[in-house]
Amino acid sequence: MSPGAALILVVEDDPQMQRLLGTALEVQDFRVVAAGNVRDALVAATTHNPELILLDLGLPDGDGLDLIGRIREWSQVPILVISARGREADKVLALDGGADDYLTKPFGVGELLARMRVALRRHARVEESGASVLEVEHLRLDLARREVRVNGQAVHLTPLEYKLLTLLARFPGRVLTHRQILKDVWGAAYMDQTQYLRVLMAQLRRKVEADPARPRLLLTETGVGYRFRDMEESAEPTG
């Protein structure tokens, strides 16, 4: 096992699932520490400083959603929820609470590992990059100059359009829920005004997408929110 391998905290109360995940991760050269409840998970998170947390929501001494909130008070470590709760509302609650991704049980080990690698790379870029210029396909966003160019041509965005674009672009690949975006762009009083967001997104896509009807950069997560396409993922258009 490589001493530089990422340390993963697995928070899972089912001993069989905990062992399965631990074995699967160690085979892939990850280091693993496990916890079976909220109390032990908090201790492990603070003492071991994991680079990613796999979190089951149904824990014997509390809800995983509460654990996410407590961790987010002091850490931005990537949190990938793995849960049997498959409802869209549960996914929205977890993402609203600060989770980076959500995977419904049962799932394949290959998909889990792929999502973990994406989360780790994304977090590393955020931690290490001091760059103020983002270029993806035909779009160039210069944060220092507050300048947006599409195919080399300057594009004028309204203050709200620019705020929405930069919010999503700062977290490439990460799904931001409707409520998260509304709070950041308009303020807490507008967190239920999803129609405002739909209209603004349509306006922004008309200005920065090559084909607004088949967006490649500003992608929809149906019923949940939006995300800015990660540079490493394939560009499948979504509505």
> For the domain that residue 145 is a member of, what is the CATH number?
1.10.10.10
The three-class DSSP label of residue 207 is helix
CA distance linking residue 141 with residue 135, whole number of Å:
6
DSSP 3-state of 191: coil
Question: Which segments of 155-238 does DSSP mark as H helices, in order?
Answer: 159-169, 178-185, 194-208
Q: What is the CATH number of the domain that holds 98?
A: 3.40.50.2300
> Region 168-187: what's the mean pLDDT?
89
Q: Are residues 169 and 107 in the same domain?
A: no
- In-domain check, residue 170: yes
Query: End of a domain among 109, 128, 147?
Result: 128
Cis peptide before 212 (omega within 30 of 0): no
Is it the case that residue 57 has pLDDT exceeding 60? yes
- Do 115 and 148 share a domain, yes or no? no
197 located within any domain:
yes
Task: Indicate the pLDDT class of residue 126, thresholds 50, 70 and 90.
Answer: low
Q: pLDDT (tens digit, 9 = 90+) per residue, 133-142? A: 788 888 998 8
pLDDT at 120 over 80: yes
* 236 lies in some domain: no
Instruction: Please indicate, yes or no, whether residues 124 and 162 belong to a single structural domain of this protein.
Output: no
Examine the domain organization and report whether 121 and 19 are in the same domain.
Answer: yes
For 146: left if phi > 0, alpha if psi spans -120 to 50, otherwise beta; the answer is: left
pLDDT > 70 in the chain, percent: 92
User: Does residue 149 lie within any of the structural domains?
Assistant: yes
Which residue's entry shows tokens 């922004």? 204
Overall pTM > 0.85: no
237 has a pLDDT exceeding 60: no
Check residue 80 and give its pLDDT: 95
Q: What is the pLDDT of residue 87?
A: 84
Residue 2 in this model has a pLDDT that exceeds 50: no
Give the pLDDT score at 232: 57
Tell me whether residue 239 is in a domain.
no
DSSP, collapsed to helix, strand or coil, labels residue 174 as: coil
Cα separation, 58 vs 130, whole angstroms:
38
122 lies in the same domain as 28: yes
Q: How many domains does the chain contain in total?
A: 2
Domain that includes residue 212, residue range: 133-228
Residue that is last in its domain, among 75, 103, 128: 128
Residues 142 and 100 in one domain: no
Amino acid at 14: D
pLDDT tier at 38, thresholds 50, 70, 90: very high
Does the residue 237 lie in any domain?
no
Statement to judge: residues 32 and 95 lie in one domain: yes
What secondary structure does DSSP assign to 39-86, as a single string?
Answer: HHHHHHHHHH--SEEEE-SEETTEEHHHHHHHHHTT----EEEEES--
| Two structure tokens written together for 124 | 């590393």
What confidence score (pLDDT) does residue 190 get?
A: 87
Distance CA 44, CA 33 (A): 8
State percent of the chain over pLDDT 90.
Answer: 61
Residues 173 and 222 in one domain: yes
pLDDT surpasses 50 at 170: yes
In a domain, 233, yes or no: no
Distance, in Å, from the CA atom of 81 to the CA atom of 32, rounded to the nearest integer, reads 16
Q: Are residues 34 and 95 in the same domain?
A: yes
